[in-house]
Every structure is written in C-alpha cells, then in structure tokens.
Chains A and B, each alone.
Chain A
Amino acid sequence: QVTLRESGPALVKPTQTLTLTCTFSGFSLTTSGMCVNWIRQPPGKALEWLAIIDWDDDKYYSTSLKTRLTISKDTSKNQVVLTMTNMDPLDTATYYCAQSSFFGARSFDYWGQGILVTVSS
C-alpha cells in the first residue's frame, strides 16, 4: 500500500526559505522507474507542477521556478525534500507530493494529503 505524507511549516515569512518533506511508504526510490513529484495549488486555483526526482537522482524543475527550487532524496529514510527560496505571499498554496513512474503513462498514481503553506509577515 503506497502512502505519502507532506510535512513542514504552515507559516513562513516573506523572503524566507521553505523546506518541505515528503515521507513515503509502499515503494522505494531505489527501484528503477520510480519518481516523486511536487505539485502546488494556490487557494481556489489550478494545480501547478513544481519538480520531480527519479530513482537515478535525476532532477527536473518548473521552468518559471527553477531558480528557487531544489529537490533531493534520502532513500534510507524514504523521504524527498523540496526547498523553495525567497518565499512570497503569492507562494501561499497547498503543496502536494505524488508518486509516478518514469515508464508507462507517467501518471501521478498516489498523492499525499497536502500541506497548506501560508506566506505572511
């Protein structure tokens, strides 16, 4: 049974760096083809894909946010970490992590419940 859970601060101040952790079970990021993605959704708005890390430690980022994002993994802890620098009130959103495979449809089969991050002074 695959589960993912996001954790991190609920409130950050403008200009601060956000660090979010996705802790997962039911699969391993050492298995060929496995990937973990980060997605966000501002209140009342659409989903926005942020980043992906794969089993081979390849990392890819949103074109518009790539200068502010870093994704990494700790396979021993079954965790993926996303950092976003220079936070702005416009970054207020629910942040999700989701599992996908590099092969086949590449769909996001399993999602965490999400964590609402508010950026405010």
Chain B
Amino acid sequence: DIQMTQSPSSLSASVGDRVTITCRASQSITRYLNWYQQKPGKAPKLLMYSATSLQSGVPSRFSGSGSGTDFTLTISSLQPEDFASYYCQQTYNIPRTFGQGTKLE
C-alpha cells in the first residue's frame, strides 16, 4: 500500500495568513493526488484534483503543486471559512489511501 504522510498534523494560523500543507507519498504517484477539506460534522469536499487542478467552485486562493512523491496545498490568504481539516489522497493505485489530516486552527 502507498503511505501518505501529511505535515503538519495541526497548524495555528490567522485570517490573512499564507498557509502551506505538505503531503508525501511513499512511492511515486505521478500527479494522482487530491486534496479534500472537511468541516466538523460534514462530509469531505473535493478541493483539488490531479495535484494542481482546482475543483469547480473552489476559491482561487487555494492552489496545489507537486508531482512524484512531494505535494503541497497552499491557501494564499486564509479566510474564516477555511478553518477546517485537510486531507490528501492518492488515486494512483488501489487501495486508495489518505493522509492523516491537517487541522487548521
């Protein structure tokens, strides 16, 4: 199985901050990397797919980069509604695997 390691596991930030979350795969996953946002009590929501593509309706302050094993999710200017948990996921092969999550506080 491909292991996905996110860092940090939690992050304290303020409105307006630029925030970066990293995700590392245990082997190359080319660009089969997706990011999800999850708010308490809600289902995850797709933010980014294929490492760098913004899902329709997601604000442009979110961006993604990377390929191979190292990926980042960046929020350029944190908004109040962005305080949530974020998960990376590889869909390079099965089993699909998620990172352990990053809680933005």
Check B34–A105 contact: CB distance below 8 A.
yes
Quick check: which of A10-18, A84-92, A108-116 contacts chain B, the rest being far away?
A108-116
Q: A96-B43, A107-B91 are in contact. Are A49 and B98 (CB under 8 A)?
A: yes
Q: Measured between alpha carbons, how far is A106 from B95 in the docked complex, in Å?
A: 12
CB distance from A35 to the nearest CB of B (A): 10
| Interface membership of B97, Cβ < 8 A | yes
7 A–B contacts from the bound complex (CB under 8 Å):
A49-B95, A49-B96, A49-B98, A105-B34, A105-B91, A106-B96, A108-B44
Check A105–B53 contact: CB distance below 8 A.
yes
For residue A109, which residues in chain B have a CB less than 8 angstroms away from its CB?
46, 55
| Interface membership of B1, Cβ < 8 A | yes
Bitwise, B40-60 to A at CB < 8 A (1) or not (0) is 001111100110010100000
With an 8 Å Cβ cutoff, the count of chain B residues facing the other chain is 25
Q: A105-B50, A105-B53 are in contact. Are A47 and B94 (CB under 8 A)?
A: no
Closest to A61 in B: B95
| Interface membership of A48, Cβ < 8 A | yes
Bitwise, A44-65 to B at CB < 8 A (1) or not (0) is 0011110010000000111100
Check A105–B96 contact: CB distance below 8 A.
no
Q: Which of B32, B38, B53, B91 is the most central at the interface, judged by chain A CB atoms within 10 Å of its CB?
A: B91
Check A47–B95 contact: CB distance below 8 A.
no
Check A49–B97 contact: CB distance below 8 A.
yes
Q: A47-B101, A105-B34, A105-B50 are in contact. Are A114 and B95 (CB under 8 A)?
A: no
Q: Measured between alpha carbons, how far is A47 from B36 in the docked complex, in Å?
A: 10
Q: A63-B1, A108-B34 are in contact. Are A46 and B91 (CB under 8 A)?
A: no
Bitwise, B73-98 to A at CB < 8 A (1) or not (0) is 00000000000000101010011111
Q: A60-B94, A63-B95, A106-B32 are in contact. Are A46 and B44 (CB under 8 A)?
A: no
* Cβ contact of B87, chosen from A37, A47, A111, A114, cutoff 8 A: A47
